Amino acid sequence: MPVSIGIPRTLAYYAFYPWWKTFFQEIGLEVVTSAQTSKATLDDGVEQAVNDACIPIKIFHGHVVDLKDRVDYIFIPRLVSVRKLETETFCPKFLGLPDLVRASMEGLPKMIDVRIDMAKGRLELFRICLDLGRRFGAGFWKTARAFWKSKRAMMDYDRLIQTGLNPVEALESWENSLHLVAEDNNKELTFAVLGYPYAVYDRFINIDLHKKLKSLGVKIITAEMIPPRKLLREAKKMPKNLFWHFSNKVIHATSYFIKQVKVDGIIHITAFGCGPDAMVDKMIELTAKHEGRIPFISLTIDEHTGEGGILTRLEAFVDMLKRQKGLA
Ligand code: SF4
C-alpha cells in the first residue's frame, strides 16, 4: 500500500492544491483530501483549537480531525511568503499553524511542516521539493519531473480560472477532467465578492453565498478571477502594501474592481476574530466610498452566524441596488 498524505481542504487549499496534489502523487504518495466543511468540521475544530482563534483556524483543526486517523502523514506547511514583494508575509496564524495544531491536538500522524519562504529566491521551492522527495525516497529525476508536472498543473488551474470559472469550479474541472464552462453571465447586477479564499469559496463558511446571489440575479467576480498581471499592476500603484499576502490581494482587487471594472456593489466576507481584517475591512469601505461611490456591505461570519440574518441583509442590499438602477 502506498504511503498516504492528508491535505486539509481549507486555508491554502484553494490557492495551491493542484501543486501539492500533483507533486505528492508524482513522488509516489497517495493523496487524501479532507471532506467538505460541515457543521461537524466546525464542532470538531471548536473543540480542538484555542478559544481565541478565528473561525477559519478552528475549521482548519476540524479538517485535521477528519484526516488524522486516515493518513500516514499530514501536510501543514508553514507559509511565510509566496512572492518576492518587499515585507509581504502571511498572517501570524499561518506562520504558526503547525505549532498551533501540534499544541492543541493529540494522536496526530507525522506532520510535514515545511517552511515555504519564496522571498529566499527563485530556487527555494525546488529546494523544498527536493528535500521532500528525499524524505519519501524519490530520486533527483523523479522529484524534478514531479516539480515540473506540479508547475504545469498550477498553470492549467490558473488557465481554467481565466476562462471565467471560480476556483471551486476550476478545481472540480481540473481534478475530474471535466469540461466545465463559465455560466452565462447575463445578470442584472455585478458584485465583487472579496475576502480570503478560505472564506469566499467555502460554501459552509459563507453560507452558500454564491448560490444565493446568483438566484437574486447577481453576477459574481472575485479577486482570483482577475488576471495576475492586472492585479500586479494595481499593487504597483499602491503607495504602500500591507504585510499580509491574502490581505494585499483583497486590497489590490478592491482597487481593480472599483477603477477598472466598475462593479455595482462590493461584498466583503470577513471572519470574526481576524486581526488583519480589522484594517482590511475599513480600507475596502473607505476606498469604495471615496474612490468609486460603490455600495459596500461587510458580512462577518462566526460560529454562531445564522443563515437567516445574512440572507435578509443580502436581499435588502440587492433590492436597494436594483431600485437605485430602476431594475425593480
Ligand atoms: S487572516 Fe484572519 S481569518 Fe485568516 S487566518 Fe489570519 S486571522 Fe484568521
**149 CA distance to ligand 1 middle (Å):** 31
**274 CA distance to ligand 1 middle (Å):** 5
Nearest of 189, 187, 209, 185 to residue 321 by alpha carbon: 189
Measured by CA distance, the residue closest to atom 2 of ligand 1 is 274
User: CB within 6 Å of ligand 1 — which residues?
Assistant: 54, 56-57, 91, 93, 196, 271, 274-277
pLDDT on residue 267: 95
Residue to substitute in 93, 243, 299, 303 for testing ligand 1 pocket (most ligand atoms within 8 angstroms of CB) = 93
Residue to substitute in 196, 249, 268, 269 for testing ligand 1 pocket (most ligand atoms within 8 angstroms of CB) = 196
Long-range contacts formed by 22-25: CB under 8 A, 24+ apart: 22/146, 22/149, 22/150, 22/152, 22/153, 23/129, 23/132, 23/146, 23/147, 23/149, 23/150, 24/75
The bridge status of strand 218-221 relative to strand 115-117 is unpaired
**275 CA distance to ligand 1 middle (Å):** 7
pLDDT on residue 37: 95
pLDDT on residue 85: 62
The atom of ligand 1 lying closest to the CA of 273 is 7
**185 CA distance to ligand 1 middle (Å):** 31
Give the contacts of 107 (CB within 8 A, at least 6 positions apart).
68, 69
pLDDT on residue 104: 94
Residue to substitute in 251, 274, 280, 298 for testing ligand 1 pocket (most ligand atoms within 8 angstroms of CB) = 274
Measured by CA distance, the residue closest to atom 3 of ligand 1 is 274
Asked: is 4-152 a CATH 3.40.50.11890 domain? The reply is: yes
CA distance 300 to 318: 18
**135 CA distance to ligand 1 middle (Å):** 31
| Sign, CA torsion 117/120/125/131 | negative
Asked: is 185-324 a CATH 3.40.50.11900 domain? The reply is: yes
**277 CA distance to ligand 1 middle (Å):** 8
Q: Kindly report the pTM of this predicted structure.
A: 0.92
Give the contacts of 159 (CB within 8 A, at least 6 positions apart).
none
Nearest of 223, 277, 228 to residue 255 by alpha carbon: 223
CA distance 235 to 286: 17
pLDDT on residue 186: 66
The CA-atom distances, in angstroms, between 60 and each of 7, 142, 197, 268 are 11, 31, 13, 21
Per-residue pLDDT of the chain (328 residues; tens, 9 = 90+): 789 999 999 999 999 999 999 999 999 999 999 999 999 999 999 999 998 899 999 999 999 999 999 999 999 999 999 877 667 899 999 999 999 999 999 999 999 999 999 988 889 999 999 999 999 999 999 999 999 999 999 999 999 998 888 899 999 999 988 776 677 666 788 999 999 999 999 999 888 888 899 888 898 999 998 988 898 888 888 888 888 999 999 999 999 998 887 789 999 999 888 989 999 999 999 988 888 789 999 998 887 766 778 888 899 999 999 898 887 7
The atom of ligand 1 lying closest to the CA of 277 is 2
**Helix/strand/coil for 270:** strand
Domains of the chain, by residue range, sit at 4-152, 185-324
Residue pair 324/316 in contact by the 8 Å Cβ criterion: no
Measured by CA distance, the residue closest to atom 1 of ligand 1 is 91
Fold agreement (4-152, 185-324): yes
